[in-house]
């Protein structure tokens, strides 16, 4: 590998990204591969502050445009502080969410337009794009139940974050958008059926990752 490898994990709420990243990182590390686990929004000082601002359920209403700018501000900092330096140090980066989340959540579900948001993301990222994206596809009702142990309709009473409390219609738009992104670029975006057992999802993810690492070796 000339430089590092950038892998993103995408999906709706409760799809299993965080659990999968932990297991993939463990397996790659046991093969002697140097891994960086990171997430969006977050993973930098600025990004973690933005995460708190964005996901705090009790905060004042946020305009969809302001929300987009904040996710992108976190991303710009993340690219400069974490992703580019890790690529230069030839690490394998496992990143929980990236541009596809912005296109699906802000572009589709918040209604700002998928193409418009995609082009803004391209401007912000200055060519830093994932080699591979693992999209964990799950029925939003199942994902929300897994993540919260309840339906989204009663989530607000339990203090869930500002995006989690949105209803099923909102989360269904997100799934539809992710599927469109996968259909548009199947070479980069690898779909995993996240309704399967964790071990099976992980085995399929590792197969795709090993194929990628082999092709870049």
Which parts of this chain interact with ligand T5A (CB under 6 A)? 11, 13-19, 40-41, 55, 71, 96-97, 101-102, 105-106, 146-147, 163, 194, 197-198, 201
DSSP single-letter state for residue 81: I
Neighbouring residues of 201: CB distance < 8 A, sequence distance ≥ 6: 16, 20, 136, 192, 193, 194
208 vs 216, beta carbon nearer ligand T5A: 208
Q: Which helix (H) or strand (E) holds 135?
A: strand 132-137
Neighbouring residues of 170: CB distance < 8 A, sequence distance ≥ 6: 109
163 vs 212, beta carbon nearer ligand T5A: 163
CB 25 within 8 A of CB 33: no
90 vs 161, beta carbon nearer ligand T5A: 161
Question: How many helices (H) and strands (E) in the chain?
Answer: 9, 5
CB of 173 to ligand T5A, least distance (A): 12
DSSP single-letter state for residue 157: G
CB 95 within 8 A of CB 39: yes
Residue facing ligand T5A at closest CB distance = 16
CB 15 within 8 A of CB 143: yes
CB of 175 to ligand T5A, least distance (A): 12
CB of 153 to ligand T5A, least distance (A): 17
132 vs 166, beta carbon nearer ligand T5A: 166
CB 193 within 8 A of CB 201: yes
Q: Are strands 92-96 and 35-39 parallel, antiparallel or unpaired?
A: parallel
CB of 147 to ligand T5A, least distance (A): 4
92 vs 138, beta carbon nearer ligand T5A: 138
CB of 105 to ligand T5A, least distance (A): 3
96 vs 137, beta carbon nearer ligand T5A: 96
CB of 74 to ligand T5A, least distance (A): 7
């Amino acid at each position: 590998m000339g430089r590092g490898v950038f892998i993103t994990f995408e999906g709706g709420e409760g799809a299993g990204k965080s659990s999968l990243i932990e297991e993939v990182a463990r397996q790659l590390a046991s093969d002697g591969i140097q891994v960086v686990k990171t997430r969006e929004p977050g993973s930098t000082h600025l990004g973690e502050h933005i995460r708190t601002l964005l996901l705090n359920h009790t905060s004042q209403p946020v305009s969809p445009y302001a929300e987009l700018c904040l996710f992108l501000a976190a991303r710009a900092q993340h690219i400069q502080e974490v992703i580019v330096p890790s690529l230069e140090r030839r690490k394998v980066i496992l990143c929980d969410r990236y541009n596809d989340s912005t296109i699906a959540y802000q572009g589709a579900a918040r209604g700002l337009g998928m193409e418009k948001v995609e082009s803004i993301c391209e401007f912000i990222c200055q060519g830093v794009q994932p080699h591979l994206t693992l999209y964990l596809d799950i029925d939003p009702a199942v994902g929300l139940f897994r993540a919260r142990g309840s339906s989204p309709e009663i989530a607000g009473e339990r203090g869930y974050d500002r995006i989690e409390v949105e209803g099923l219609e909102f989360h269904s738009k997100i799934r539809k958008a992710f599927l469109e992104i996968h259909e548009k670029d199947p070479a980069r975006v690898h779909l995993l059926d996240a309704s399967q057992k964790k071990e099976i999802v992980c085995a399929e993810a590792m197969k795709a990752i090993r194929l990628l690492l082999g092709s870049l070796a």
